[in-house]
């Protein structure tokens, strides 16, 4: 199984000291040799085009994978093609494939019971559940939050976060938490006041999931929303900034001010319509919608607007959370003590869920509830992932790799002005725009056939979503291959 793994030392000796930061046509690693990567391969290895003859390509399926042979940053397909994976299952693999620490954890007989006895966590949690939460999710809780509710996936996390905001808002309106008889009877037949006409304010380009509540706040692509009934909820413009951000501070501040003004207008307007905004939901970086950034000042002002108008503030970190920006949570870059009322997560956290402030705790049992409410086996994995992140200083690595990646993208953009624009990112959570959709898709396929797996986002962007074990030498390996692909499009 490990036959094609070679000594890291040997592999790296082939790659050192060749990176030229100027306009050289080849980008090769200048990174120092690394330890802790024994489980990684030495580079891509392509046997066929992808999907190959043993694979299939139907519907949304790209190709079939051999997860047993995949390692670290490399995804192996059923045709034994080995690709440097910079998409990582839509940004959901935290520390690479088959990390030895996780394999060891799952092979431990003490954990068998957790794998075969899935509890109804809301009523009958396992003895160690509070400890496992403390070790895992609560050890990285956002500032000001001491409570977390696990859920099975990202959509359920946001759906339940919305419910928590609605419940909080209605109790605030009532001034107490005792519903009237009319509340209790009307809610059973979907009518107000029991099912009130409350709304969640979201942003154009935002993505918060595909179940009916989430979908009413998702505005990224038509195919996600088409034919599904929705709610009349307000949508504000998300700032359309110019990049690099530091070169357009004045223009970007104006654009952000415009959007914030619109947010306040919408809150007032929807209150007047009788559909008050109970909560505002936003991503720290709009991911699916095209990797759209906004400044810490924008988010600080938005947080204040939410507070001023009595709306809860929900930061959706399903894609941004888990370390890819160089911090556990992208909102940490805002530098706020009280960044949000609710922070939802999934993907790299391996379990869905949301953190919340004490006042967003539902006032009675069974209001936020379902059968499983998460999965302790995922908390077990997450606790070990966090151990690995700390032990291997992966957030520092991400910051270092991210700088190399963004600088490399700036260089390539300077050399390919007809193709590339708007390189942007935080940590390794980077993106770049391609001149048009067709070229973008052609680049994605050509890169794949050369052994680099990337994903698109927005209309014509490529998003970079490597695992946290993506090191500087992986960056340089990618830049070399990407440079070759771009040369075919000149």
Nearer CB in complex with its own copies: 131/396: 131
Nearer CB in complex with its own copies: 31/86: 86
How far apart (Å, rounded) are the C-alpha atoms in residues 345 and 172?
26
Compute the least distance from the CB of residue 280 to its own copies, in Å: 16
Helices (H), 332-471: 376-391, 394-415, 437-449
DSSP 327: S
* Through-space distance between the first and last CA atoms of the chain, rounded to whole angstroms: 40
Nearer CB in complex with its own copies: 51/326: 51
Phi then psi dihedrals of residue 462, to 5 deg: -110, 130
The reply on whether position 129 binds its own copies by CB under 8 A is yes
Enter the tokens of residue 299: 């988010």
Binding residue for its own copies, selected from 84, 140, 198, 281, defined by CB under 8 A = 198
Binding residue for its own copies, selected from 84, 93, 281, 324, defined by CB under 8 A = 93
Compute the least distance from the CB of residue 69 to its own copies, in Å: 9
C-beta neighbour count of 302 within 10 angstroms: 23
The reply on whether position 41 binds its own copies by CB under 8 A is no
Tell me which stretch binds its own copies (CB under 8 A): 2-10, 100-108, 422-430, 461-469.
Answer: 100-108
Nearer CB in complex with its own copies: 14/120: 120
Q: At which residue do the structure tokens 């970086």 appear?
A: 285
Phi then psi dihedrals of residue 365, to 5 deg: -60, 160
Q: At what angle do helices 472-487 and 394-415 cross, to 10 degrees?
A: 20
Compute the least distance from the CB of residue 221 to its own copies, in Å: 8
Q: Which residues pair with 420 in a beta bridge?
A: 434
Compute the least distance from the CB of residue 361 to its own copies, in Å: 9
Interface of this chain with its own copies, residues 420 to 449, rule: CB under 8 A: none
Nearer CB in complex with its own copies: 77/411: 77
Q: At which residue do the structure tokens 């003490």 appear?
A: 110
DSSP-derived pairing of the beta strands 235-236 and 199-203: parallel
Interface of this chain with its own copies, residues 355 to 384, rule: CB under 8 A: 364-367, 369-372, 377, 381
> What SS3 class is residue 297?
helix
Compute the least distance from the CB of residue 153 to its own copies, in Å: 4
Single out the residue of 7, 11, 10 nearest to residue 43, CA to CA. 11
Helices (H), 416-452: 437-449
Phi then psi dihedrals of residue 383, to 5 deg: -55, -40
Interface of this chain with its own copies, residues 53 to 82, rule: CB under 8 A: 59-68, 70, 75, 78
The reply on whether position 49 binds its own copies by CB under 8 A is no
Binding residue for its own copies, selected from 84, 156, 389, 479, defined by CB under 8 A = 156
Tell me which stretch binds its own copies (CB under 8 A): 207-215, 262-270, 431-439, 482-490.
Answer: 207-215
Tell me which stretch binds its own copies (CB under 8 A): 221-229, 259-267, 332-340, 432-440.
Answer: 221-229
Binding residue for its own copies, selected from 25, 228, 414, 438, defined by CB under 8 A = 228
The reply on whether position 267 binds its own copies by CB under 8 A is no
Interface of this chain with its own copies, residues 394 to 423, rule: CB under 8 A: none
The reply on whether position 155 binds its own copies by CB under 8 A is yes
Tell me which stretch binds its own copies (CB under 8 A): 214-222, 296-304, 393-401, 404-412.
Answer: 214-222
Binding residue for its own copies, selected from 33, 52, 144, 179, defined by CB under 8 A = 179
How far apart (Å, rounded) are the C-alpha atoms in residues 217 and 230?
9
Compute the least distance from the CB of residue 371 to its own copies, in Å: 5
The reply on whether position 5 binds its own copies by CB under 8 A is no
How far apart (Å, rounded) are the C-alpha atoms in residues 283 and 457?
14
Phi then psi dihedrals of residue 324, to 5 deg: -65, -20
How far apart (Å, rounded) are the C-alpha atoms in residues 163 and 354?
12
The reply on whether position 22 binds its own copies by CB under 8 A is no
Phi then psi dihedrals of residue 455, to 5 deg: -125, 155
Binding residue for its own copies, selected from 135, 183, 297, 332, defined by CB under 8 A = 183
Tell me which stretch binds its own copies (CB under 8 A): 203-211, 246-254, 279-287, 475-483.
Answer: 203-211
Interface of this chain with its own copies, residues 157 to 176, rule: CB under 8 A: 159-160, 162-163, 166-167, 169-171
12 exposure class (CB count in 10 Å sphere: 0-12, 13-18, 19+): middle
> What SS3 class is residue 206?
coil
How far apart (Å, rounded) are the C-alpha atoms in residues 86 and 8?
20
The reply on whether position 276 binds its own copies by CB under 8 A is no
> What SS3 class is residue 453?
strand
Tell me which stretch binds its own copies (CB under 8 A): 84-92, 255-263, 302-310, 390-398.
Answer: 84-92
Query: How many residues form the binding site for its own copies (CB under 8 A)?
Result: 107
How far apart (Å, rounded) are the C-alpha atoms in residues 481 and 15?
14
Q: What is the DSSP string of 382-400?
A: HHHHHHHHHHTTHHHHHHH
The reply on whether position 271 binds its own copies by CB under 8 A is no
Catalytic sites, residue numbers: 207, 316, 347, 371
The reply on whether position 313 binds its own copies by CB under 8 A is no
Compute the least distance from the CB of residue 104 to its own copies, in Å: 9
């Amino acid at each position: 199984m490990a036959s094609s793994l070679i000594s890291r030392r040997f592999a790296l000796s082939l790659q050192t000291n060749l990176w030229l930061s100027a306009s050289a046509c080849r980008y090769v690693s200048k990174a120092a040799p690394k330890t802790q990567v024994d489980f990684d391969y030495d580079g891509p290895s392509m046997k066929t085009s992808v999907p190959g003859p043993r694979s299939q390509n139907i519907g949304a399926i790209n190709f079939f994978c051999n997860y047993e042979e995949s390692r670290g940053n490399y995804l192996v397909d059923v045709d034994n093609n080995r690709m440097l994976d910079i998409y990582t299952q839509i940004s959901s693999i935290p520390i690479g494939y088959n990390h030895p620490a996780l394999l060891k954890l799952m092979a431990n007989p003490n954990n068998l019971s957790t794998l075969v006895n899935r509890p109804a966590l809301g009523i009958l949690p396992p003895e160690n559940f509070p400890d496992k939460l403390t070790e895992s999710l609560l050890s990285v809780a956002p500032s000001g939050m001491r409570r977390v509710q696990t859920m099975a996936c990202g959509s359920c996390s946001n759906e339940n976060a919305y419910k928590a905001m609605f419940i909080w808002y209605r109790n605030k309106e009532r001034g107490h938490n005792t519903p009237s008889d009319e509340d209790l009877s009307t809610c059973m037949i979907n009518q107000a006041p029991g099912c009130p006409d409350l709304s969640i304010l979201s942003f154009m380009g935002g993505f918060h999931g595909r179940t009916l509540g989430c979908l009413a706040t998702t505005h990224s692509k038509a195919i996600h929303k088409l034919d599904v009934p929705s709610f009349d909820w307000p949508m504000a413009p998300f700032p359309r900034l110019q990049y690099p951000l530091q070169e357009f501070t004045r223009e970007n501040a104006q654009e952000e001010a415009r959007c914030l003004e619109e947010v306040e207008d919408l809150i007032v307007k929807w209150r007047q319509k009788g559909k008050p905004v109970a909560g505002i939901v936003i991503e720290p970086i709009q991911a699916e919608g095209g990797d759209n950034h906004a400044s810490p000042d924008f988010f600080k002002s938005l947080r204040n607007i939410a507070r001023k108008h009595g709306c809860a503030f929900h930061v959706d970190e399903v894609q941004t959370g888990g370390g890819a920006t160089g911090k556990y949570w992208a909102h940490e870059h805002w530098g706020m003590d009280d960044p949000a009322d609710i922070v939802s997560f999934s993907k790299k956290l391996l379990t869905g869920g949301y953190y919340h402030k004490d006042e967003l705790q539902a006032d009675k049992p069974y209001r936020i509830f379902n059968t499983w409410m998460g999965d302790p086996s995922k908390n077990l994995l997450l606790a070990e992932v966090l151990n690995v992140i700390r032990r291997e200083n992966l957030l520092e690595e991400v910051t270092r790799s991210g700088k190399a990646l963004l600088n490399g993208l700036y260089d390539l953009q300077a050399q390919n002005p007809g193709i590339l624009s708007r390189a942007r990112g935080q940590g390794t959570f980077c993106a770049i725009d391609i001149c048009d959709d067709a070229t973008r898709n052609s680049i994605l396929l050509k890169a794949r056939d050369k052994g680099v797996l990337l994903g698109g986002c927005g209309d014509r962007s490529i998003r970079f979503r490597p695992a946290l074990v993506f090191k500087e030498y992986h960056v340089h390996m990618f830049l070399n291959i990407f440079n070759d692909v771009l040369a075919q499009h000149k």
